[in-house]
Amino acid sequence: MTLMIQGMIILILSLLMMSMSSILSKKTFQDREKSSPFECGFDPKTSARLPFSLQFFLIAVIFLVFDVEITLLIPLITIMKTMNTSNILILSTLFIMILIIGTYHEWNQGALNWAN
């Protein structure tokens, strides 16, 4: 019960601090000069905020996920000496199946198509 009360106090204090900081801040979002990019005092010719390729972002995230999963596979080689062969086989098969299912899901979602 005391843990729940402490959690509520922390939540209330956090919300109070965030609301007070947003009320007391002197930043204005409508200031045209601050929201526009700096080009020697002249109005910019084009938008400084270029569109971001979502497909590139998805490929980068998929690369990072598989990179981390490969680093998780490497210790299986050293564990082979200490564990039973059937346990290693089940563990590695389960891990590889999760990777294959994830890749298949990304393929079905169209994240791996570069033609778009």
Alpha carbon distance 84, 90 (integer Å): 10
Q: What is the model's pTM?
A: 0.46
Least-confidence region, from 22-26, 47-51, 94-98: 47-51
Query: Has residue 29 got a pLDDT over 60?
Result: no
Give per-residue pLDDT as tens, 1-21.
Answer: 888 999 999 999 999 999 988
Average pLDDT, the chain: 80
Query: Has residue 92 got a pLDDT over 90?
Result: no
Section 37-65 average pLDDT:
72
Query: Has residue 104 got a pLDDT over 80?
Result: yes
Query: Has residue 32 got a pLDDT over 90?
Result: no
What is the pLDDT, as a whole number, of residue 65?
Answer: 83
Section 72-77 average pLDDT:
82
